[in-house]
Structure 1
Amino acid sequence: MASAGIGRIKLGSQGLEVSAQGLGCMGMSGWYGPPKPEQDMISLIHHAIHTGVTFLDTSDMYGPFLNEILLGKALKGGLREKVELATKFGVTVVDGKREIRGDPAYVREACEASLKRLDVDSIDLYYQHRIDTRVPIEVTVGELKKLVEEGKIKYIGLSEASASTIRRAHAVHPITAVQLEWSLWSRDVEEEIIPTCRELGIGIVSYSPLGRGFFTSGPKVVENLTDNDVRKFLPRFQPENLEHNKTIFERVNEIAMRKGCTTSQLALAWVHHQGKDVCPIPGTTKIQNFNQNIGALSVRLTPEEIAEIESFASENDVKGDRYAEGASTWKISETPPLSSWKAL
């Protein structure tokens, strides 16, 4: 039975309803170390669904492909109807190099492949994972609109898109959700992107709401990273930046101790308090950590406590970028005008 504490929210204004907290599934199939044992991950997904966390987030890039296959197996036996399934397209690896694609033929090809791996008839929320800056966003969303009309996807999302990209996309077909990194150490989206989403009635999905584990264990998070853990290469996790950023963790930890919750619960509660249009999707590979994460829904913060937290966790208080230089993020997601389009 679903826990009364999880709750449901309307994500965007197009009719999609999801659990108030989702489950990010990326780490189950790599990126943060090697893939985890399949049966353990299926048990975790089942536990999440039975607890009331039904909004599951994956991508064809996770694995690649392994995570969608995992979810397809986990949702057998009538569980598909109990969840809101989100996946993504747009990041490919060609000859060992990452390429971003948003051309119509690829959009359709990627969707068909995801449907097959997930073993479902339709995808509830289909995101463009990263924006292809060679293809006008109107062209990409135009193809997604056709997939909606065909019933292959129900709702359209964008990830790491700038405010102007979101506006242009939304003019072609309503965008239901924008996925972005939003946490106590990633707050630059608050200036323009969050207000744009709210103006247009677009839901906000916060990925890495725990700072990729930073708000779970602070600087210690780097001590046991394997060689294939992506965090080893992120600027914020480099020693000189981590030493500076640990102050934020310590201050959040002080308030958490005062409130009788964990540091990660407080950091996650802060995201929940940003509005009823926000759904964080913390990832985990352990049931005990999952249980701790949903405990954040019971943490109540006063306006004074929120102000205190934000006073030492502003955009300017964090050292190091989210990604390495040149990475594809909303800051470089502008696409050419539609008038310039010639099929690739």
Structure 2
Amino acid sequence: MDKVYLDNAATTQIRKSVIATMHDSLSGFYGNPSSSHSFGRSAKTAVESARKTVAQYMNAHPSEIIFTSGGTEADNMILRCAVRDLGIETLITSKIEHHAVLHTVEDLKEEKNIHLKYVNLNEFGDPDLSHLTELLQADTTKKLVSLMHVNNEIGNILDIDAVCMLCHQNEALFHSDTVQSVGHYLWDVRQTPVDFLTAAAHKFHGPKGIGFAYVKKNSGLKPFISGGTQERGHRAGTESMHNIVGLEEAFKVALDNLEREKAYILDLKKHFIAEVKKEIPGAKFNGYSGDLEKGTYTLVNVCLPIAPDKAMLLLFHLDIKGIACSKGSACQSGSTQESHVLAEILSEEDLKRPSLRFSFSTFNTKEELDYTVAVLKEFVEPES
């Protein structure tokens, strides 16, 4: 095969209907949404319609949806503003969060002298909720917990309802990086009452450079970027209208077709796991990525039985064969550093072996997966 794209956790192919919607917006609604004339009013109507659409699918109020440049900005906005505006003194997170959270809380520790605590993890990477309870009850400081819903490298699904309950029982705020789950799971922020969550359109077949933060009404957060009064005063700057309507279209299509596409992708994952187990017996699935209940249906993370000296050539070999995947987060792809997520859960022996993340979408086929497994098998066999 010429090209096989299995890096959907990094970014996804944009749907044709999204491209068409964005094209129409760029050519027909070019007014500034803050302008009072008809061109501006038309643009403003499109932005607010998108906000209402997102809110409706999330069971949120439109005022609780803040458009951002993506998940990283949304995470930064929530964490930094919570410390600045809400009197948060203690941040509780885990060591396998996305760096948008990890680096931000580390910076806040240095800049604001806040207390930073990490919840213990089990051998598969799940947070220990008993330990989380201990951390929440350890002192009387005002706390915010930040734990991601679906881990972007190993696919573990957090028991987010249990964490919500623990936080509220202990008068702590709860933020969840939901970049890998929004658009892939149904959300109801009244049923699962998180205080803050974040999303990025390019994870569910929308454009890059646009996402949103859910900020519970009357949260007390003040503007993150100073300037105009856009985004209900939370984020100054002219709205990226073509990206916003692209996000809206991608979100609608993803959720309107969720059950059908989820079933299709889950079937791909089952097939891939079965073929890897059959053709590469020494392979292991990291975290809960090989578990169909505890791991997301969109990805697997596989540790392969390959010697360290040969492992350096694996991604290059796959790329030559037209296969795109990842050794971890795309944000680290240019780095020689090993995955901070796998470093927390794998043995020293398994850390010496290559681990790859394969992530699937509705645009993939079983034939592509069979080809990928055959290429992996061909590379692994000489070492077997």
Question: TM-score, structure 1 length as denominator?
Answer: 0.31
Rg comparison, structure with higher value = 2
Question: TM-score, structure 2 length as denominator?
Answer: 0.29
